[in-house]
Amino acid sequence: MLTDEVLTSIEESVLCWLATVDVHGTPNVSPKEMFVPYGKGNQKTHILIANIASPNSVANIRANSAVCLSFVHVFKQKGFKLHGKARILNKDDTSFPEKHQALYLLTGDDFPFQRIIEIEVLKVNPILAPRYRLFPNTTEDEQVSSALETYGVKAK
């Protein structure tokens, strides 16, 4: 499910965006900073997110497990949208120590967390800036150069 291309996109992303829905159908989107792909061996089928300060996301997932998670490289302007089912893992879950360790490698002691949001990825769709569709010969390098110019980003 999580191809090498998707895994690279996740690795290149500084943030991901988790969309959830509350009991009234009101959507919530929340940035997540500490996340890793997870699975056995080379088969990554889940995303783990350290729940650092997301009470709305946790409450929404408890009410409705359907979620959407997106990763977009800000300069390449492409990424992926992952649809799945989420669950909240507390410290008493038997798999918590192993999954906590996978995230602890990112967070260390700087961002302590008591819960993990685990997402089983069920569907993956690409996210592309319109330029890629309107001008199919656009390369990532061209898109990055254009974005850097548009945003006024200069190398140090």
N-term to C-term CA, the chain = 38
Cβ(119)–Cβ(47) under 8 Å? Answer: yes
63 lies in some domain: yes
140 lies in some domain: no
pLDDT of 50: 95
78 lies in some domain: yes
Average pLDDT along the chain, 156 residues, taken 10 residues at a time: 91 94 94 93 91 93 97 91 97 94 89 93 95 90 86 78
154 lies in some domain: no
Total domain count, the chain: 1
Cβ(60)–Cβ(21) under 8 Å? Answer: yes
pLDDT of 156: 67
Q: Which residue has the tokens 């993990």?
A: 116
Domain containing residue 77: CATH number? 2.30.110.10
108 lies in some domain: yes
121 closest CA partner among 88, 89, 83 = 83
pLDDT of 154: 79
